[in-house]
Structure 1
Amino acid sequence: MTEQVLTEIQGHIIIIRLNRADKKNALTGDMYNGISDALDQLENDSNLRVGVITGTKDCFTAGNDLVDFLNSSSIGGDSPVGRFLRTLPNLTKPLVAAVNGPAVGVGTTMLMHCDLVYAAPGAKFQMPFATLGLCPEAGSSLLFPQLIGYRKAAKLLMLCEMFRADEAVEMGIVNEVVDAEEYQAHAIAKAQQLAVLPPRSIRVTKQLLRTGNAEQLKAIMKMEEDYFTEMLQGPEAKEAFSAFLEKRKPDFSQFN
């Protein structure tokens, strides 16, 4: 387990903390593996009933570490991202998220696989895949239109607009906005409420809530993976990533 992903056991709960504050908890391959290890522990340890995922106090995650990501050839297969994207939707036990500050890219899309989400007022959500020459991932191209409607999903996934915690509540992405001093404790308290309930009842309820989407989600995630992997090596993504690293505006005028 990397020191940039910390875990703590509180009774029947495992708390997963992203711990790379100096880089706004930007996710590396090692961090993806650390999160997946913790989720596997939740799934396989009969004493654990609920997971909580959060970041440092003021930041959830700025998304992928682009320098690390440039060295990736795929988000599928045996890659750390691929492992994480397979693990998350197959989790049978409830997962609660506590969010503040940036929740960018996968920092937003992963929330669609969490069962309860609590945010501080300063949480800011964004899915900038299109601006990076990429496409949606984590099943977001299916789950977001289902949750908030096509028009709103198109605005978030095509124009890549940022939205606030109160807007996320209105869209159904976040359950509740909680004071910045209390949001993590509040999420853990909700996890504790779940942890004392009949564990099989909670697992079956989660399964039933998600069964209608299961096969379609699997197919969409595979399609996203194929497109994303292809586009990651493509010229538009290379221009977007280069512009970011060179601190300039990208130029997509040459592409059609």
Structure 2
Amino acid sequence: MSELVESVVEAGICRIILNRPEKKNALTSAMYDRMAMLLRAADSDDAVRVVQLGSSGSDFCAGNDIADFMAQSRQDAATIEEPAGLRFLDTLIGFGKPIVAAVGGAAIGIGTTMLLHCDIVVASADAVFGLPFVKLGLVPEAASSLLLPQLMGYQRAAELLLLGDTFNASTAYELRLVNRVVPADDLGITAARYAAQLAARPPEALRLSRQLLRSNLAEVRSAKSREAAVFLQRLSSPEAAAGLNAFLSRSRSG
């Protein structure tokens, strides 16, 4: 049986592949934990110089698997355990090596916000992004309430986060969320080219330069924690219950 998150290390590149195409690579708690484990292993492996994130199938990541998310949230609340998604974000935010992401098809919720912690993002022309947190009765996560205004200005960030409508790859490029937009057939090749170029750079100079570029790391961690506290409170709200149940009903009927 194939892993829902696969990994291979070759020529200094650790490729982490979301492998649940029949569900548009929607993330379960087990997938979050495996991604965090693979990132920790890559960070501590001197043979790995860069991580390349990608996916199987036509979609990058449709966000959380809502049924798993709701069930796991109830369990986490009962055991007072930090949700797997937050553990993954802690690992991603603190990761010390460059990350290249290849994004095709749907990139929704965490499928978009995780890109804020990548260094180079290549999107296919058919990519669709979205931040539907408010629509679900929730709030932003992954420090997006800090990083998106810094990236594109307050008003544009507010439009994306408060309305939660989807937007296309050309808009994502205009908003500086992605580095390049390429035809779908060129997505993997282009991302691999970037990863190979980074892997060929002097590793210590690369690490230190990335560290300097991310000098606001403490602020990012603080924003992520503030968001998480409100997010977890919202999970027990009537608005979130209605939003999540409505989404689940639509997905089951669709």
The TM tier, using the shorter chain, reads over 0.9
Q: Does 1:101 align with 2:105?
A: yes
Contact 1:125 1:163 in 2 (8 A): yes
Q: Which runs of 4+ in 1 moved over 3 A?
A: 74-78
Q: Map 1:1-256; keep pairs closer than 5 Å.
A: 3-73=3-73, 78-211=82-215, 213-247=216-250
TM-score, length basis structure 1: 0.93
Query: Does the 8 A contact of 1:51 with 1:95 survive in 2?
Result: yes
8 Å CA contact retained: 2:6, 2:19: yes
**Structure 2 counterpart of 1:86, which letter?**
D
Question: Offset at 1:155?
Answer: 0.5
Q: Is the 8 A contact 2:24 2:57 kept in 1?
A: no
> Judging changes above 3 Å, is the alpha-carbon distance between structure 1 residues 77 and 87 closer, same or farther for their aligned structure 2 residues?
farther
Q: Secondary structure at the match of 2:184?
A: coil
CA-based RMSD of the aligned residues comes to: 1.7
Q: CA deviation at 1:2?
A: 7.2
Other structure's SS at 1:122 match = coil
Structure 2 partner of 1:251: none
Identity fraction in percent: 43
2: CA distance between counterparts of 1:51 and 1:71? 31
1:42: how far off?
A: 1.2
Q: Is the 8 A contact 2:21 2:57 kept in 1?
A: no
CA distance in 2, matches of 1:195, 1:246: 45
**What whole-Å deviation, never above 9, does each CA across 1:144-195 have from its counterpart, x for those lacking one?**
0000000000010000021111111111110001121121121011101000
Give yes or no for contact 2:62–2:107 (8 Å, CA) kept in 1.
yes
Paired with 1:77 and 1:204, the residues of 2 have a C-alpha distance of 34
The residue type paired with residue 158 of structure 2 is A
Q: Deviations over 1:52-74 (max 9, x none)?
A: 00112411010000000001336
Partners of 2:10 and 2:81 lie apart in 1 by 33
C-alpha deviation, 1:224, in angstroms: 0.4
On the 8 A contact 1:50/1:191 being kept in 2, the answer is yes
* Residues 139 and 227 in structure 2, CA contact (< 8 A), matched pair in contact too: yes
Alignment coverage as a number of residue pairs: 247
Q: Does the residue aligned with 1:53 lie in a helix, a strand or coil?
A: strand
Q: Secondary structure at the match of 1:96?
A: strand
* 3-state secondary structure, aligned to 1:174: coil
Which amino acid counterpart does residue 14 of structure 2 have in structure 1?
Answer: I
CA-CA distance at 1:78 after TM superposition: 3.7
Within 2, Cα distance between the matches of 1:14 and 1:186? 16
Structure 2: which amino acid aligns with 1:181?
D
Return 25-34 or 213-222, whichever deviates more. Answer: 213-222
TM-superposed deviation, 1:245: 2.3
**Residue deviations 1:4-62, cap 9 Å, x none?**
10111121000011010111100000110111111111101011000000112411010
The Cα of 1:199 is off from its aligned counterpart by 0.2
How far is the alpha carbon of 1:77 from its aligned partner? 5.3
What amino acid maps onto 1:173 in structure 2? L
Name the CA distance, whole Å, in 2 between partners of 1:57 and 1:189.
20
